[in-house]
């Protein structure tokens, strides 16, 4: 089960790094990246999901912030 979780998170990371269009994030100022990140975290923490889904949502928020800052 742990291997499945690790493989799922690794696949999400690879897919987010290569499949999301980087052109949209190219003109985004860093302040907008952090605003979007805070909104994403707030939505994830306010959701009525289980701890595992919240953890996945927070991971996606972290990946989106990293991608936004990397390709800004």
- Which band of pLDDT confidence, cut at 50, 70 and 90, is reported for residue 43? very high
Q: Is the pTM of this model over 0.75?
A: no
Q: Per-residue pLDDT averaged across 50-66, rounded?
A: 91
What residues have CB less than 8 Å from 28, skipping those under 6 apart? 68, 72
Q: Which of 22, 38, 15 is nearest to 72 (CA)?
A: 22
Instruction: Specify the higher pLDDT residue, 59 or 14.
Output: 59
Q: Is the pLDDT of residue 54 over 50?
A: yes
Contact 55, 8 (CB under 8 A): no
Q: How many Cβ atoms are within 10 Å of 56's Cβ, its own excluded?
A: 17
Q: Is the pLDDT of residue 25 over 50?
A: no
Q: Per-residue pLDDT averaged across 40-59, rounded?
A: 92
């Amino acid at each position: 089960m742990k291997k499945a979780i690790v493989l799922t998170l690794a696949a999400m990371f690879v897919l987010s790094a290569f499949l999301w269009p980087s052109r949209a994030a190219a003109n985004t100022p860093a302040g907008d990246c952090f605003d979007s990140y805070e909104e994403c975290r707030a939505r994830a923490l306010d959701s009525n999901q289980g701890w595992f889904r919240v953890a996945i949502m927070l991971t996606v928020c972290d990946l989106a912030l990293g991608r936004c800052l990397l390709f800004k």
